[in-house]
Every structure is written in C-alpha cells, then in structure tokens.
C-alpha cells in the first residue's frame, strides 16, 4: 500500500478466498484452513496501512465455481482431479460475510450475488456443482470455472 504521507487511498476492496478454498489434499498447495483464512482477512481489515489512510474497506466474498469447467481447467494443468467445489467455496464466502458483519464493514457478497442470478435459493442444491444440471447463467459468469468473465464484473 502506498505511503499515507504521499497519497490517500479512499476505498480498498479485498477479494481472496477462491484459491484458499482448495482441498487440503489438492496438489497445487493453495489450501488455507478456514480459521487461518479468517485470521488473515481480519489482519487485512485492521492493517495499520489501512488505518493510516482511513480507507473505506470493502471485502468481497470469493465467488462461486463452476465445477465442470473447473475440472477441465485443472486437468489441462496436469492435475488428476477437481481441487475445490462450490460447497467448499461457500464456506469461505460465509466466513468472509460473517467477519465483515462482526467487524462492522460492508461486504460485497459475490458468492450469493452470482448464485441468486443463477436462480438458486437457500436450501436448494448448488448450481455449478458437478452433480447438478449445467447452468447457463453460471457458465456466463466464470469462463474457466473459476475466473470471472466481463459479464460477471458488470454485476458489481
């Protein structure tokens, strides 16, 4: 973050968690346990540089994954199996949302925004999961199962 004596950051968004949500056994080594993820997010929110700038901090939850496309992507990278799921990513989104609420900061809930856009309602099976029918809306939001499309960025 730039020195607060030379510049002022007014707004700061934090979007991470998608890679952290990989399975423990995933070969990519990106897994971060939920409790460590929560601690890391809290440290970012309360970081002295953020305080020095008086920045308005806006965490974003990790967005959904589209497991079919993601499986193709990870296999094209030489891995043999899916390394994260929507259900797992939801746990990280839930932690992000809850921590933002507990700390009194706003939160852009990308996970819920994209799932709602897909027609999903709380309690239903998760669209984008490999055991559910394909969802064209979700496929339009993540081009490789993980990374957002221009259409997704237009939503927030």
Report how far residue 98's alpha carbon sits from residue 51's, in angstroms, rounded to the nearest whole number: 21
- Run of H or E including 14: strand 11-15
- Residue carrying the six token digits 């900061």: 105
Q: Give the HSE-up count for residue 2: Cα atoms under 13 Å, Cβ half-sphere.
A: 10
Report how far residue 32's alpha carbon sits from residue 91's, in angstroms, rounded to the nearest whole number: 12
In this predicted model, what pLDDT tens digit does every residue of 106-123 receive, in sequence order? 999 999 999 999 999 999
Check residue 152 and give its pLDDT. 96
Average pLDDT, the chain: 91
Check residue 53 and give its pLDDT. 82
pTM, two decimal places: 0.90
Sequence-distant (≥ 6) Cβ neighbours of residue 11 within 8 angstroms: 55, 56, 57, 58
In which band, very low, low, confident or very high, does the pLDDT at 57 lie, cut at 50, 70 and 90?
confident
Section 117-132 average pLDDT: 94
Check residue 37 and give its pLDDT. 96
Check residue 5 and give its pLDDT. 78
In which band, very low, low, confident or very high, does the pLDDT at 96 lie, cut at 50, 70 and 90?
very high
Check residue 42 and give its pLDDT. 93
Residue 134 backbone zone (phi > 0: left; psi -120 to 50: alpha; other: beta) = beta
**Does residue 60 have a pLDDT over 80?**
yes
**Does residue 142 have a pLDDT over 80?**
yes
The helix-helix angle for 86-103 and 110-117 (nearest 10°) equals: 130
């Amino acid at each position: 973050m730039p020195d607060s004596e030379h510049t002022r950051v007014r707004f700061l968004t934090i979007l991470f968690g998608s890679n952290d949500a990989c399975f423990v056994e995933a070969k990519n080594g990106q897994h971060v346990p939920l409790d460590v993820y929560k601690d890391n997010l809290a440290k970012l929110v309360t970081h002295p540089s953020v305080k020095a700038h008086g920045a308005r901090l806006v965490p974003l939850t990790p967005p959904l994954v589209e497991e079919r496309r993601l499986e193709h992507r990870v296999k094209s990278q030489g891995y043999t199996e899916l390394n994260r799921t929507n259900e797992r990513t939801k746990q990280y989104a839930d932690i992000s949302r809850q921590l933002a609420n507990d700390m009194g900061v706003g939160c852009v809930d990308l996970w819920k925004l994209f799932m709602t856009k897909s027609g999903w309602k709380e309690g239903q099976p998760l669209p984008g999961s490999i055991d559910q029918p394909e969802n064209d809306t979700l496929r339009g939001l993540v081009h490789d199962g993980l990374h957002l499309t221009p259409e997704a960025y237009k939503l927030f």
